[in-house]
Structure 1
């Protein structure tokens, strides 16, 4: 697993602050993350009010459960400039790991619902569903297992390729690789997903195009 120090987490902290500041300037909409517009995304819902993914991310870290950040929070950690109001997670779905996951969500007083919006208990068995939706004081979103259909993608492999960001205090946050996130975006195919996939693809291409020029300059200096 790759490790990156702090910078992705600083990007996320800055984006969460901007989201909260933006949401303070508007009235509540009555919409949750499940009501998000396919173009605007959850920044247009009440999920943006007080958005702070870090309490849950810290709870996951302290519980020792390995949940991988996907969705736009992962996009922000990779450098996306679009804001979001939800936190989506992918974990391995192994029953033995479910109690630690449930403990993490319980510690932040999360409330769970199934895909139809029916309340379910914050119990290990609830997390064994392909997807469970959650809300907490800081963030709401989806918590998924690899059993959730993603077209022809083998998302279980994405867990093995995930990157780990570490802050100076020791917090570790696992997030999906840029390449795999782009694949997930294109598989879902909503306007916001395709736009964000193009953004990540373009920024990656720009970095690749800059690398040879830098190498050539170094070669000239050595010559």
Structure 2
């Protein structure tokens, strides 16, 4: 049986790679993304493929929740992206498995100032660590990261889990929570994408019923 959220993500990743295929490198990284265009306009779009990391997280039993535009795409957003953002619970006991998963995709980590940090469990206990890998880069956040007053730790409990026929399980933020995150950040791309997600109130209502 086709898994629609994951198929939407696979199709979007293919379109991103095709779009960037013949484009010269920009020299722009994840944190250089334009507040309107987003990471589709950076070198993160080159070879973008979030699935190696998502599969590694699954294999290591890590419950990291996809947030940002990858989650938006899984909910049906038509905008492309060149990064993968994640939210996990930040518990020290879960950090070693997270580090092991990132190691399998040869990730490199940086602090919020862009300085390299070692790929060890302790590095993931920061409120946010940035990462790059062969397939995708982005942010890996804990609930300690300030998010405009939102209690994002609660979003972990409401996250949706989906699985494809191969057995891959992916967790992603519920639509209503993703909208709240977008509105709290408030950049032009976030407000535009929040409005897009809000354009299907029936889907939001269905997710609310599923969570109760």
TM-score normalised to structure 1 length: 0.90
Structure 1 residue aligned with 2:158: 161
Structure 1 residue aligned with 2:210: none
Aligned pair partner of 2:182 in 175, 180, 185: 185
What do the CA deviations read for 1:55-81 (whole angstroms, capped 9, x no partner)? 000000000010000000000000000
Structure 1 residue aligned with 2:34: 37
Structure 2 residue aligned with 1:205: 201
User: 1:205, CA displacement in angstroms?
Assistant: 2.6
User: 1:207, CA displacement in angstroms?
Assistant: 5.5
- Pair 1:117–1:168, CA change in 2 (3 A): same
What do the CA deviations read for 1:132-164 (whole angstroms, capped 9, x no partner)? 000000000000000000112110000000001
Following TM superposition, the consecutive aligned residue runs of length 4 or more in structure 1 with deviations greater than 2 angstroms are 205-209
Unmatched runs of 5 consecutive residues or more in structure 2? 206-212
Structure 2 residue aligned with 1:120: 117
Structure 2 residue aligned with 1:214: none
User: 1:168, CA displacement in angstroms?
Assistant: 0.2
Structure 2 residue aligned with 1:76: 73
User: 1:6, CA displacement in angstroms?
Assistant: 1.4
- Pair 1:74–1:207, CA change in 2 (3 A): closer
The structure number with the bigger radius of gyration is 1
State how many pairs are aligned: 205
Question: Are the equivalent residues in 1 in contact too, given 2:125–2:142 (CA < 8 A)?
Answer: yes
Unmatched runs of 5 consecutive residues or more in structure 1? 210-223
Structure 2 residue aligned with 1:149: 146
Structure 2 residue aligned with 1:216: none
TM-score normalised to structure 2 length: 0.94
